[in-house]
Structure 1
Amino acid sequence: MAIDFGQIRRSEHLPARIASHIAREIGEGRIKPGDKLPTEHILAKAFGVSRSVVREAIAQLRNEGLVETRQGVGAFVRDMHARPTIRIEQEELVDRESFRSLFQLRMPLEIEAAGLAAVHHDVEDMQQLDAALDQMTGAEKWTEQGILADLAFHRALAAATHNEYFPLFIGFIAERISHAINAARAAAVLEEIVEVTIAEHVVIRDAVALRDPLKARDAMRQHLLGAASRLDLTLETF
């Protein structure tokens, strides 16, 4: 299966487009450090999308270190000197080799995260993993909601490491990789690719639940290699 990487740009989903727009406003100084972003309700109305889409966009900005969220208060732009700078514009990933390099980086991070999650997860972590998996396998699995649930699963797994840096880096990479999920879906039999992807996530979840770090690492490794092959990417493995 050959992927036209131009599809990634065309299939970029709504949260990413909104996040890019807000990031541009921040980068060009129209939204300044310390400023509070408008509420989810206001942003949803302004962009003509649901609040869940806005929530995903804010999560992406948080993963990129552009904003910080305060429980019950809202999202605030972080000071340029205080925040980590991790940003890759989507246009760069239209280049096949750049995209493969990003996917290669995903391998060690997510494999290690799966092992650590198996060791360190708690009851709440498993609830988050199961909630994401329920969404992935539900009635909306064929839609964009299925992609968002896939992202939520990987974020929950990163959080289950109980290492604050894994969610930051994995969340950032997952957002970029997610644009390729749309491209892969467009280039394959949708039913087949969705069911295979779900099965791979179930194996990861079960290994984590068993607190078996070796099985969890292997399950994640197989999932990532499978995902890469569905994008016609060849990764280096040792």
Structure 2
Amino acid sequence: MMDDRPHILRTTHLPTRIADQFAQQILSGVLKPGDRLPTELAMSKNFGVSRTVIREAIAQLRNEGMIETRQGVGAFVIERPTRHIRLNDGGMTEDDFRGLFQLRIPLEIEAAGLCALNHSSDHLAQMDEALLRMSAGSEAPDDGILADLDFHRTIALGTGNDYFVQFLGAISDRILKTILLSREKIRLDTLLDVVGQEHRDLRDAIAAGDPMRARSAMRAHMVGSTQRVDLKIDFYD
């Protein structure tokens, strides 16, 4: 009997491959704004993967600004800016990780400063919710990773500048790979303590409305992130 499920290459990151398939349908107009994606269960059966993989793919599409999720309802395609940034999937060498951080560091530091000035109470609530999920990471490690991505996306949203959302969304799958790599190198409970404190410092600086403190907290987080994947990056003040 022939298997007619969509073919997903096992040599690449599964959530990214699934997100790519839906992204192509959205970009080509097969899926239009307002259309609902299949349920997690239906996609899990269709692609032959776990629901955790599907949740990561959905989170990636959400971070890229292609869909929105409604609690208890599902995931829906949303209207996108005319100029939408999307990178093709690929393997990550040491040079790729270095290039990623060279782009990410100035973007994230500036985003933190702007978020401190422009955030709303809703943004703080979303950060707090992400922090709670991250703190439970040892019980639900996959959701802890997604919560980390959601925290950074909320900072981008809090800038009030959609370009930050687009650029950081475009590299969200690469950021996910750095999180996975750091979890391979450092014991999980130790990693969660350190990363959790870095994110709490960021949240508190943003809540205080102090852009310089927020930028400093993000810089410290970026330094820690590079060290956790054994990269030496030069920072310029």
Aligned-residue offset at 1:58: 3.6
The answer (yes or no) to whether the contact 1:158–1:167 under 8 Å persists in 2 is yes
Q: Any unmatched runs of 5+ in structure 2? A: 1-9
SS in 1 for 2:77: strand
Q: How does 1:1-238 map to 2 (within 5 A)?
A: 12=13, 14-23=14-23, 26=25, 32-36=28-32, 38-41=37-40, 42-47=42-47, 48-50=49-51, 54=54, 56-61=56-61, 63-64=63-64, 67=66, 74-75=76-77, 82-91=82-91, 93=92, 95-138=93-136, 140=138, 143-238=141-236
Q: 1:10 to 1:219 in 2, by over 3 A?
A: farther
CA contact (8 A) 1:142 1:194 kept: no
Note if contact 1:203-1:219 (Cα within 8 Å) is conserved in structure 2: yes
Quick check: 2:137–2:143 contact (8 Å CA) kept in 1?
Answer: no
TM-score normalised to the size of structure 2?
0.78
Instruction: Quote the Cα distance in structure 2 between the aligned partners of 1:53 and 1:118.
Output: 33
Stretches of structure 1 that go unaligned for 5 or more consecutive residues are: 1-8
Match of 2:171, SS? Answer: helix
Shift of 1:113: 0.6
User: Aligned to 1:90, what secondary structure does the other structure show?
Assistant: coil
User: 1:90/1:113 Cα in 2 relative to 1: closer, same or farther (>3 Å)?
Assistant: same
Moved over 6 A (4+): 70-73, 76-79
Query: Quick one: higher RCO (CA 8 Å, sep 6+), 1 or 2?
Result: 1
Change (3 A) 1:59 1:146: closer
Q: What displacement does 1:136 show? A: 0.6
Q: Percent identity?
A: 40
Query: Number of matched residues?
Result: 219
